[in-house]
Structure 1
Amino acid sequence: MRHTVRTALAVAAFSALPQLAFAHTGVGAVHGFDAGFAHPMGGLDHLLAMVTVGIFAYQLGGRAMWAVPATFVALMAVGGALGIGGIGLPFVEVAIALSVVVLGLVVAFGVKAPLAAAMAVAGVFAVFHGHAHGTEMPLDASGLGYGLGFMSATALLHLAGLSLGMAVGRFGETHGTRYVRGAGAAVALAGIGLLGGIL
């Protein structure tokens, strides 16, 4: 229970840090927050990747339960700032679909990556997710509100993944692990579908 509370507080805190990275503030703040919050929720690729980050963090346990999601949120803010600022990145959509495949596979195979490696993988993919959010910001939205919106939604999706992992884990070591890994495999297959343009 203490891990869950610490995770929630850490992710919430990190979601509020990068406010200054966003330009165009002061106009349409409420609209910006709403649009930003809706963006990760409305795309299957973002939704799957962000929930799977939470499941991956749960599988790793310990400090990874807050460090991996917090890294994702923080570096997604960097990517969002790049997108809002009109700074291009190559292969954004491919990288986002690939993130779904890779994250699904690490969960499916129960990869026990070192914390630094897990944070690096999450962080690299987060930049591309954030860039996609930033480039699709409505013209009349506040950059600050929009950024806080998609960061808040992402933090909630990470918490959903952590909670899902914990809930499934209650089935016991054998059955819980099997279900979590099965979910990872399903996510990886969905990512392949996204890469192939099927989904």
Structure 2
Amino acid sequence: MTRFPIRSLALAGALALAPSLAFAHPGGAEVHGFTHGFAHPVTGLDHVLAMVAVGMLAFQMGGRAMWMLPLTFMALMIGGGVAGMMGLDLPYVELGIGLSVVVLGGAVAAGVKAPLAIAMALVGAFALFHGHAHGTEMPETVSGLAYGAGFLFGTGLLHLAGLGLGFAVGRAGETRGPLFVRGAGAALCAAGLAIVAGVI
């Protein structure tokens, strides 16, 4: 890969993460329209960290995983969102969201090289929790569909941010780059533990 795409991915990652520094998680805010949908994933710390972890894991695994893991997450997040809109119960949603940051960050930190199918299953399982949590608050209207489209777009940018971060950090040095990526994964894992514990 040439320098230009790597720099582009790093820049896209930084731009995707920037809104989360300016706004708080909207929580009980309005849940309609594309703009609200886009803002929600990029302003919620748990979602931001999980999406970045998916992107970093995809980068670390390389090959088809670089696009299969993000697409798997988004596809099953939609499924979880539909289940939430239909009122289907999914237990331990908040715990599942917190653990997604812990486990995915831990996988990056450990440098896990799992078979692609297993990685997709893991990412997809966590995606159901993320989708369900937001599907339950999304209105079943045209405005709700626009919200969902915005949410999906924001999530895709966060995956791109994780890939960009992986490229930026991983290519920092041929010998130390992978260690920096694993260090970033450890930081994500620690943040996830803090979320699960209710510290942040």
TM-score range, shorter chain: 0.7 to 0.9
* Map of 2:93 onto structure 1: 92
Please identify runs of 4+ aligned residues in structure 1 that moved more than 6 A: none
Q: Would you say the 8 A contact 2:111–2:182 is kept in 1?
A: yes
Task: Give aligned-pair identity as a percent.
Answer: 63
Count of residue correspondences: 175
Shift of 1:139: 7.5
Q: Would you say the 8 A contact 2:85–2:140 is kept in 1?
A: no
Alignment TM-score, normalising by the size of structure 2: 0.82
Deviations, residues 51-100 of structure 1 (Å, cap 9, x unaligned): 11000000000000000000000000001111122212100000000000
Q: Would you say the 8 A contact 2:105–2:189 is kept in 1?
A: yes
CA–CA separation in structure 2 for the residues paired with 1:198 and 1:139: 34
CA–CA separation in structure 1 for the residues paired with 2:142 and 2:186: 37
CA–CA separation in structure 1 for the residues paired with 2:125 and 2:160: 20
Q: Would you say the 8 A contact 1:36–1:137 is kept in 2?
A: no
Q: Would you say the 8 A contact 2:55–2:161 is kept in 1?
A: yes
Deviations, residues 83-119 of structure 1 (Å, cap 9, x unaligned): 1222121000000000000001000010001000010
CA–CA separation in structure 2 for the residues paired with 1:175 and 1:122: 27
Shift of 1:178: 1.2
- Residue identity matched to 1:123: G
CA–CA separation in structure 1 for the residues paired with 2:178 and 2:168: 11
SS class of match (1:142): helix
Task: Structure 1: give runs of 5+ residues left out of the alignment.
Answer: 9-29
CA–CA separation in structure 1 for the residues paired with 2:194 and 2:45: 11
CA–CA separation in structure 1 for the residues paired with 2:52 and 2:144: 24
Stretch deviating more after TM superposition (78-87 or 90-99) = 78-87
Alignment TM-score, normalising by the size of structure 1: 0.82
* Map of 2:110 onto structure 1: 109
Task: Structure 2: give runs of 5+ residues left out of the alignment.
Answer: 10-30
Q: Would you say the 8 A contact 1:39–1:133 is kept in 2?
A: no
* Map of 1:45 onto structure 2: 46
SS class of match (2:175): helix
Mapping 1:111-190, distance limit 5 Å: 111-137=112-138, 142-190=143-191
CA–CA separation in structure 1 for the residues paired with 2:125 and 2:111: 20
Go from structure 1 to structure 2 and tell me whether the alpha carbon gap of 1:180 and 1:54 turns closer, same or farther (over 3 Å shift): same
CA–CA separation in structure 2 for the residues paired with 1:131 and 1:95: 11
CA–CA separation in structure 2 for the residues paired with 1:177 and 1:49: 20
Go from structure 1 to structure 2 and tell me whether the alpha carbon gap of 1:85 and 1:32 turns closer, same or farther (over 3 Å shift): farther
Calculate the aligned-residue CA RMSD, in Å: 2.1
